[in-house]
Amino acid sequence: MTHTTKSCMDRPRKVGAKWTDKNIAPDEKIETFELDYDGKRDRWNGYDAASYAYVIERYEARDEARKKYRKDQQLQKLEEKNGSQNGEDGVSDDEDNEDALKVDEAKVDESKQMDFAKVEKRVRTTGGGSTGTVRNLRIREDTAKYLLNLDVNSAHYDPKTRSMREDPLPDMDPNEKFYAGDNQNRVSGQAQEFKQLNIHAWEAFDKGHDVHMQAAPSQAELLYKNYKINKEKLKSQVKETIMDKYGNAADEEQLPRELLLGQSEREVEYDRAGRIIKGQEQALPKSKYEEDVYINNHTSVWGSWWKDHQWGYKCCKQIIRNSYCTGAAGIEAAEAAADLMRSNIARKETAEEMPAQVEEKKLATWGTDVPDDLVLDQKLLAEALKKEDGRKREEKDDRKRKYNVKWNDQVTAVDMEAYRMKKVHHDDPMKDFLN
| Residues, the chain | 435
What pLDDT, on the 0 to 100 scale, is given for residue 369?
A: 60
What pLDDT, on the 0 to 100 scale, is given for residue 236?
A: 94
The structural domains of the chain, with segments of one domain joined by +, span 49-103, 120-181, 191-246, 305-349, 378-399+410-433
Residue at 391: amino acid letter:
R
Average pLDDT, integer, range 133-149 = 73
The contacts of residue 280 (CB under 8 Å, 6+ apart) are 266, 268
Q: How far apart are CA 83 and CA 168, in angstroms?
A: 77
Q: How far apart are CA 416 and CA 414, in angstroms?
A: 5
Across 272-356, where does the E strand assignment appear?
Answer: 276-278, 305-307, 310-312
pLDDT band at residue 135, thresholds of 50, 70 and 90? very low
pLDDT band at residue 264, thresholds of 50, 70 and 90? low
Spell out a b/e string for 362-377, using b for 16 or more CB atoms within 10 Å of the CB, else e. Answer: eebeeeeebeeeeebe
**Helices (H), ranges, 81-216:** 87-96, 98-101, 191-206
Name the residue among 129, 119, 112 with its Cα closest to residue 64: 112
Contacts of range 67-75, beta carbons closer than 8 Å, 24 or more positions apart:
69/103, 69/107, 69/108, 70/101, 70/102, 70/103, 73/101, 73/103, 74/101
What pLDDT, on the 0 to 100 scale, is given for residue 179?
A: 87
Q: What phi and psi values does residue 305 have, to the nearest 5 degrees?
A: -135, 145
DSSP helix/strand/coil, 100? helix
pLDDT in tens, 78-133: 888 866 565 455 445 555 555 555 544 445 444 444 444 444 555 555 555 554 44
Other beta carbons less than 10 A from residue 207's beta carbon: 8
The contacts of residue 111 (CB under 8 Å, 6+ apart) are none
Q: How far apart are CA 300 and CA 293, in angstroms?
A: 9
Name the residue among 410, 411, 417 with its Cα closest to residue 382: 417
pLDDT band at residue 272, thresholds of 50, 70 and 90? confident
Contact 62, 108 (CB under 8 A): yes
Q: Tell me which of 189 and 119 has the higher pLDDT.
A: 189
DSSP helix/strand/coil, 21? coil
What pLDDT, on the 0 to 100 scale, is given for residue 71?
A: 92
DSSP helix/strand/coil, 312? strand
Across 78-129, where does the E strand assignment appear?
Answer: none
Contact 374, 413 (CB under 8 A): yes
Spell out a b/e string for 253-284, using b for 16 or more CB atoms within 10 Å of the CB, else e. Answer: eeeeeeeeeeeeeeeeeeeeeeeeeeeeeeee
DSSP helix/strand/coil, 184? helix
pLDDT band at residue 358, thresholds of 50, 70 and 90? low
Q: Tell me which of 237 and 372 has the higher pLDDT.
A: 237
pTM of the full predicted structure? Answer: 0.27
What pLDDT, on the 0 to 100 scale, is given for residue 293?
A: 83
What DSSP designation does 277 have? E
pLDDT band at residue 158, thresholds of 50, 70 and 90? very high
Q: Which H helix or E strand runs over 252?
A: none
Spell out a b/e string for 137-156, using b for 16 or more CB atoms within 10 Å of the CB, else e. Answer: eeeeeeeebbebbeeeebbe
Q: How far apart are CA 418 and CA 146, in angstroms?
A: 98
Using alpha carbons, list the distances in angstroms from residue 62 to 71, 80, 108, 109. 14, 27, 7, 7
pLDDT in tens, 213-231: 889 999 999 999 999 999 9
Report the mean per-residue pLDDT for the chain. 79
pLDDT in tens, 31-82: 777 888 988 888 888 888 888 999 999 999 999 999 999 999 999 888 888 6
pLDDT in tens, 227-263: 999 999 999 999 999 998 988 877 777 776 666 666 6
CA dihedral of residues 292, 293, 295, 297 (deg, nearest 10)? 50
pLDDT in tens, 298-351: 888 888 889 888 899 989 888 888 888 988 888 888 889 889 998 999 888 888
Name the residue among 124, 120, 74, 63 with its Cα closest to residue 101: 74
Q: How far apart are CA 265 and CA 243, in angstroms?
A: 35
